[in-house]
Structure 1
């Protein structure tokens, strides 16, 4: 697996991100979906990566800079055919290393609070993320679960 910066113009990446957005929308009501569309991922505050095995897209992830010391994990998604192969963990560790190199002290995230998001919450917890309250512009929402990890 090779994790590379960029790739938002690639058709496989676009299809995976569209599937991610559709999945989020199918599991949460409209006001509770915080997944970013392709245009939002192009914002200068966001760094995006794609994981590849040759020409095969395995997954993706992004880091949004909220402040110089706080980043937000966004758009973590593994292609269905690569589930349970360590793609998400590798992406998460790659993003965390980038955040540390940039001098960030924390990475926070928002994910779903109900069953379809249980595997994601378990992954984040296994990598040292702990539950926290809403951050940035988020508000308490029964469909949201917030986590953070101290990097320093």
Structure 2
């Protein structure tokens, strides 16, 4: 698996991100969807990675700087054809290592509460994330779980 920084120009990543947005909207009401679109992911505060097996896109993830000490995990997604192959865990560990190398002291995330998000919640918990309150501009929402990890 080759994980590398991505410029979001390729059709494969654009399709995967559209699938991600579509799935988020099918699982949560619009006001509870916090997935970022392509334009938002291109912001200078965000580093975006993709995972590849040769020419085949396996998944993606991003790190958003909130402050010099705090970052947010964003846009974690595994391509359907690569589910349960360790893509998400490898991407998460890659992003955690990058966050630590950049000097962040904490990384937080928001994920959903409906059934399709349970696997993500379990992954994050298994890597040391614990539930916390809303951070950054988030507010309490029955469709959101907030998690954080000290680095």
What TM-score, normalized to structure 1? 0.98
d(CA) in 1 for partners of 2:81, 2:107? 28
- Following superposition of structure 1 onto structure 2, how do residues 8-87 of structure 1 map, counting pairs within 5 Å? 8-87=8-87
User: Is the contact made by 1:57 and 1:79 (CA closer than 8 Å) also made in structure 2?
Assistant: yes
Shift in Å, 1:113: 1.1
What TM-score, normalized to structure 2? 0.99
Shift in Å, 1:91: 0.2
Shift in Å, 1:7: 3.7
CA deviations 1:48-100 (Å, max 9, x no partner) are: 00000000000000000000110000000000000000000000000000000
RMSD of aligned Cα (Å) = 0.5
d(CA) in 2 for partners of 1:8, 1:145? 27
User: Is the contact made by 1:7 and 1:13 (CA closer than 8 Å) also made in structure 2?
Assistant: no
- In the alignment, structure 2 segments of 5+ residues that lack a partner are none
Give every structure 1 segment of 4 or more consecutive aligned residues whose post-TM-superposition deviation is greater than 2 Å. Answer: none
**Alignment size in residue pairs:** 151
2:118 paired residue number: 118
- In the alignment, structure 1 segments of 5+ residues that lack a partner are none
SS at match of 2:65: strand
